[in-house]
């Protein structure tokens, strides 16, 4: 059932299935060889359809970026996304701004009910609120938009201490647990749900985590600019993301790594980067949800 739903989501997003496959893994990721061979992964849970759904949408955003690069950059140093901050702006844009919107919930509700008859009695409003419920949690990849960046801050502060020589690898679990209590008010029951939940550090990917926060902020400003010329909610509700995708392809995807990140985004925004767009987006969305 969940695999069928993944195929449906990729179709709705406008992902070229001829050049993008999907498979299963423990920790979802996207990889690519060029813009003709991109691969995404997800993880299915028997008791949590939503986890895989947003995983597919998130990784699908990465895939669209890679698929949208101009052919001329293939097999050169300019192929692929220019930075992880830009890459995460695309994945977080699709996962949250599109995937958790009322318009998207309205679009996919019939498919969800067809796949899971138990949802027949659940209204679109209830689904929307469930997909956007905000509460402190243990797992970064499952975190809601409002608390997500607190997970990033924990990792960022720990990385700084590691590189400053103020913290050793052996001390990581205790410091992680302490900071989750301080930042999110939750107790960590095990290292599996704590310091070992991400694969990034074991892969040597230090300095990566802030790109998720930066990408989220980029995404909010892109959304604000896009709405000036694209009826985003209307297009999403109709199941037609072609104009959304074309807008991003024209301003970001097609350039591969040709332009430096700051130059690329300022051209897309037609203004300097301004994180207040992200703050305003969160404030307006969650004030409406929680009054």
DSSP for 27-94, please give it.
Answer: S--EEEEETTEEEEEE--BTTBHHHHHHHHHHHHHHHHHHHTS-GGGTTSTT-S-S-HHHHHHHHHII
Helix (H, G, I), strand (E, B) or coil at 23: strand
Nearest Cα residue to 101 out of 235, 268, 271 = 235
Distance between CA 25 and CA 124 in Å, rounded?
30
Distance between CA 227 and CA 237 in Å, rounded?
15
- Residue 128: how many CB atoms within 10 A of its CB? 19
**What Rg, from alpha-carbon coordinates, does the chain have?**
19
CB-based contacts of 267, cutoff 8 Å, min separation 6: 251, 259
Our separate counts of H helices and E strands in the chain read 12, 3
Residue 59 designated active-site: yes
Residue pair 6/52 in contact (Cβ under 8 Å)? The answer is yes
Which one of the listed residues 2, 59, 145, 175 is annotated catalytic? Answer: 59
Q: Six-digit token pair at 45?
A: 């849970």
C-alpha dihedral (274, 277, 278, 280), degrees to nearest 10: 140
Give the catalytic positions in this structure.
Answer: 59
């Amino acid at each position: 059932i969940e695999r069928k739903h993944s195929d449906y989501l990729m179709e709705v997003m406008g992902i070229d299935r001829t050049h993008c496959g999907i498979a299963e893994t423990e920790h979802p990721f996207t990889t690519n060889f060029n813009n003709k061979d991109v691969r995404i992964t997800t993880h299915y849970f028997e008791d949590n359809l939503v986890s895989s759904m947003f995983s597919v949408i998130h990784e699908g955003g990465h895939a669209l970026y890679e698929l949208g690069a101009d052919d001329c950059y293939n097999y050169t140093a300019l192929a692929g996304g220019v930075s992880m901050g830009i890459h995460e702006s695309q994945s977080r844009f699709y996962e949250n701004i599109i995937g958790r919107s009322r318009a998207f919930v309205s679009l996919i509700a019939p498919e969800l009910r067809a796949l899971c008859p138990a949802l027949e009695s659940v209204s679109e409003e209830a689904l929307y609120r469930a997909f956007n419920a905000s509460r402190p949690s243990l797992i970064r990849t499952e975190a809601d938009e409002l608390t997500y960046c607190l997970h990033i801050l924990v990792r960022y502060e720990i990385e700084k201490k590691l590189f400053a020589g103020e913290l050793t690898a052996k001390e990581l679990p205790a410091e992680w647990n302490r900071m989750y209590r301080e930042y999110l008010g939750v107790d960590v029951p095990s290292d599996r749900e704590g310091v070992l939940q991400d694969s990034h550090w074991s892969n040597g990917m230090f300095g990566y985590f802030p790109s998720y926060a930066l990408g989220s902020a980029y995404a909010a400003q892109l959304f604000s600019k896009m709405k000036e010329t694209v009826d985003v909610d209307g297009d999403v509700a109709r199941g037609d993301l072609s104009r959304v995708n074309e807008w991003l392809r024209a301003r970001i995807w097609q350039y591969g790594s040709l332009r430096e990140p700051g130059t690329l985004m300022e051209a897309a925004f037609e203004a300097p980067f301004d994180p207040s767009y992200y703050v305003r987006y969160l404030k307006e969305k969650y004030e409406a949800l929680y009054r």
